[in-house]
Chains A and B, each alone.
Chain A
Amino acid sequence: MKSARANFLIKVVGGLALLMLCAFIGGGVVGYLSVTNPELDTSSAHIWIIGGIAVALMVGSLAVGAVWMRSIDEAAREAHKAAWYWGGSGGMAVGGVFAILATLPAAAQWNIPSMLPERTDPAVYAATGAFGLMTLMIIGYTIVWAWWWLARR
């Protein structure tokens, strides 16, 4: 079990280092292009590079999650399955209430905080909603995961 854990850590650290290297190279390319070609619009390159890093981060997270899920024992896996379904669904249900309330005409008058205070455009509000829902799901996940183990002590 120890070697599996060590392998897992090596893969996580290695993956993060690779991601940082990609981000460094990407940043360097954008910097070089913007200096050597002042007329070049680097904003679209910026979007592509950040988008690529975001995709790599999410794919990497899934891969790390798969390796980690295989490294834990069956009871730990059951705890996470219960947490994923019941905690995640519970969090989503709470978020669903907010989503329905947000469709009411009166909601247009509500002062809803944005995750980036200096921005109030639709994209940042969509991101705020997505992160808000993810936060609720993670809270539900954590509660159910802790309950699962406490109930089996």
Chain B
Amino acid sequence: MNNRLKVLRAERNWSQAELAERLGVSRQTVNALETGRYDPSLPLAFKIARVFDQAIEAIFSED
């Protein structure tokens, strides 16, 4: 699954640690999400969508 997490985070000038804190996860998890090597659960995907104020499908897309 592809995602725009890195772009969205850069647009807001947030560090990985800052985003991790907002999502309530570790920085390593944010890194794994950004590199596309870990797909989030539905609850975490909704949380990400809320943090960036976007729809889930605007952030995540199929390969």
Contact = CB atoms under 8 A, between A and B. Distances in A.
A and B from one complex: yes
Interface of A: 1, 72-76, 78, 149, 151-153
Given A1-B24, A152-B32, A153-B31, A74 B37 contact: no
Given A152-B37, A152-B38, A76 B26 contact: yes
B35 A74 contact: no
Interface string B20-37: 010011101101110101
26 contacts: A1-B21, A72-B26, A73-B24, A73-B26, A73-B29, A74-B29, A74-B40, A74-B41, A74-B44, A75-B25, A75-B28, A75-B29, A75-B32, A75-B33, A76-B26, A76-B28, A76-B29, A78-B38, A149-B28, A149-B32, A152-B28, A152-B32, A152-B37, A153-B31, A153-B32, A153-B35
Judged by DSSP, the binding face of A is loop
How many chain B residues sit at the interface, stated as a range, is: 10 to 19
A73 B38 contact: no
A76 B24 CA distance: 12
Interface in B1-54: 21, 24-26, 28-29, 31-33, 35, 37-38, 40-41, 44
